[in-house]
Structure 1
């Protein structure tokens, strides 16, 4: 097992040090033999060529006269010095090459250790040159691989939770549908009113299942980032006005009023209106269903610097603080909203958050001072800001 505190330097083992010594000794022996062979060949060439020997003598004589020195030069001395320098260069190159190979072996050993499942380990060596860049690339690759593995695990866990929640939410109304239809099938009803009651209950439960399936389909669709948004320029003032008209009858039945304000007018911006309408539908529907005891639903849209801020709020029952941090989680429902009358699929706010985030914005919730507010922040492009 690797030490937790790993040295940033590559420490050679005794065996590797011995390999370096042997490499150096063998190289020196080979160079000595090569130098002797070259020296003997050079002597034979010079002695066999009289003109070459005379040229060397003249060069020596000229240097001697120039410096007026008693220095006794011979062609053998510079030749031996040249070969000695060349030998040192070759010896250094051989030892460095061998040392680089040992460094590569240590890096490969670290890679094998990581590949055996120790994904929290990183190659600790701090080297320069290409090997240093290689280590950085390997560590970055391991980091991205580990992140991908963790993301895959989260996705699998999310899928399991999704299947569990969907199975639970479908099984409950489906059990009721089968039960009431079974009573009708067996003729276990006494009056027509009782028959109609059974069929109405089965119909209501079927609608509840359809709502869950629709929301689940929409949630899956908005999470697919490769699905393009249909971005167009639109007037937020007109969009909110139409929404208020659409919900006018429903708000009257529930004893509530719905109002909106926009600043400025017209309020031109860009976005996918179909998906943004879905967001406002979810927020208004939630205010009608869960805002018990309230009488007002207010929508306020305004420009703040480079952003559009839209607030949808109601004065109904506040959301508990412990629920505010989870309210946008998939399938999360506030405990007080689990009755058959108001209980939804728990996907509406998760869908809304995904739609807003795909527009590059954010959505948050607050519940204080008698108002439960959902604050939507959407960026405006340059063309929007000019309008």
Structure 2
């Protein structure tokens, strides 16, 4: 936005005009007094008159012209001085008016209009003050917006956690109520117990994920760095999901380029990243037949890790929100898939702790989670 100069009110313009008139009158009176005093001094001293006349006749300019009348010369100098004084008086008063406008703007901001900035500009050091005020306003607005976002995030967190706890808890209470009422059939009793136990496990999983998420978000979280052989880790991770993969007809493929690729990372947390991404692929990658675990050395400073599956494509609008806590691609708050909605948020938090980046790409052929990590995190600043 282009800034304009301070717009003076009609009263201020009148004040400025009155300042100019008064200054001119005072200067004219002062000039008249000075001229009278000088004339009286010269008339009382004939030697001074002769000296002035001699100088006028002696000093000549181009074309044989002599020095003009000393009175006229003196008046010209006084006129120039008067203009300088008049300008100084008017510009000083104008700057005072600018300051009044700035103070008025500050009072307006102080009344609660914290998003208001000073839109005019000046050509004095007062502009630095205006710039500082505007910077402070911008910082305040950002802080207020962040506060609102945090408050909204907390409300959403409470709402989501309450919903995810209430759903299995309602089932547990319902089935325990049936048992309490005296179900005679032992088969039904066992069925109700199994369902109640499964719902209790869901609640336990939610509590565990929520605790891990909040822990990872803490600034005091530290990484236990060690040398990690990527290919060996991928083999161990895939082995843990081999049975579940066979049940769903999914084959795991592992690649590391080079095969002896080693990075500095927190092994436990990085394994949790792979567990979350593979679990996500098994639950939501409908129709998938392959899950690829790939690690590539990009350059001397960076490694790229990929978890790919050829299942159902993730909608474009969901890719932007997929790492948000409690977000589920199916767009519902039910727990039929058994997830807490925190797995990918936890994954992103772990990647952030490693000073890395994660993104998701999905098309009709493949859905890819791509992680970029520094090769040697020892040279990075570990969170305190």
Report the TM-score when normalising by structure 1: 0.79
How many residue pairs get matched?
374
Say which of 182, 188, 194 aligns to 2:182: 188
Give the 3 Å change call, closer, same or farther, for CA 329–87 of structure 1 in structure 2: same
Separation (CA, whole Å) in 2 of partners of 1:6 and 1:106: 18
Does 2:213 match 1:219?
A: yes
Does 2:343 match 1:343?
A: no
The answer on whether the counterparts of 1:327 and 1:333 sit within 8 Å (CA) in structure 2 is yes
Separation (CA, whole Å) in 1 of partners of 2:377 and 2:324: 33
Separation (CA, whole Å) in 2 of partners of 1:194 and 1:344: 27
Match of 1:236 in 2: 230
Say which of 95, 98, 110 aligns to 1:100: 95
Shift of 1:146: 2.4
Shift of 1:230: 4.6
The answer on whether the counterparts of 1:107 and 1:123 sit within 8 Å (CA) in structure 2 is yes
Say which of 4, 11, 33 aligns to 1:8: 4
Match of 2:292 in 1: 298
Match of 1:362 in 2: 358
The answer on whether the counterparts of 1:231 and 1:272 sit within 8 Å (CA) in structure 2 is yes
Shift of 1:262: 0.3
Separation (CA, whole Å) in 2 of partners of 1:148 and 1:127: 28
Separation (CA, whole Å) in 2 of partners of 1:377 and 1:238: 19
- Name whichever of 211-220 and 76-85 sits farther off: 76-85
Q: Greater relative contact order (Cα 8 A, min sep 6): structure 1 or 2?
A: 2
1:239-258 correspondence runs (5 A):
239-252=233-246, 255-258=249-252
Report the TM-score when normalising by structure 2: 0.79
Give the 3 Å change call, closer, same or farther, for CA 199–149 of structure 1 in structure 2: same
Shift of 1:373: 2.5
Question: Which secondary structure state, in structure 1, belongs to the residue aligned with residue 183 of structure 2?
Answer: coil
The answer on whether the counterparts of 1:329 and 1:350 sit within 8 Å (CA) in structure 2 is yes
Match of 1:261 in 2: 255
Long gaps (5+) in structure 2: 380-384
Say which of 270, 278, 303 aligns to 2:272: 278
Match of 1:28 in 2: 24
Separation (CA, whole Å) in 1 of partners of 2:304 and 2:244: 26
Separation (CA, whole Å) in 2 of partners of 1:243 and 1:26: 90
Separation (CA, whole Å) in 1 of partners of 2:146 and 2:218: 16
Give the 3 Å change call, closer, same or farther, for CA 32–272 of structure 1 in structure 2: farther
Shift of 1:348: 0.8
Separation (CA, whole Å) in 1 of partners of 2:47 and 2:220: 85
The answer on whether the counterparts of 1:337 and 1:343 sit within 8 Å (CA) in structure 2 is no
Q: Calculate the aligned-residue CA RMSD, in Å.
A: 3.8
The answer on whether the counterparts of 2:4 and 2:119 sit within 8 Å (CA) in structure 1 is yes
Shift of 1:22: 1.1
Question: Which secondary structure state, in structure 1, belongs to the residue aligned with residue 351 of structure 2?
Answer: helix
Shift of 1:38: 5.5
Say which of 144, 150, 155 aligns to 2:145: 150
Match of 1:161 in 2: 156
Question: Which secondary structure state, in structure 2, belongs to the residue aligned with residue 12 of structure 1?
Answer: coil
Give the 3 Å change call, closer, same or farther, for CA 292–343 of structure 1 in structure 2: same
The answer on whether the counterparts of 1:60 and 1:73 sit within 8 Å (CA) in structure 2 is no
Shift of 1:115: 5.2
Query: 1:178-207 CA deviation, whole Å, 9 max, x = no partner?
Result: 3333444x4623255544444333322222
Separation (CA, whole Å) in 2 of partners of 1:39 and 1:360: 83
1:78-157 correspondence runs (5 A):
82-113=77-108, 122-157=117-152
Separation (CA, whole Å) in 1 of partners of 2:42 and 2:215: 89
Say which of 279, 283, 286 aligns to 1:289: 283
The answer on whether the counterparts of 1:356 and 1:363 sit within 8 Å (CA) in structure 2 is no
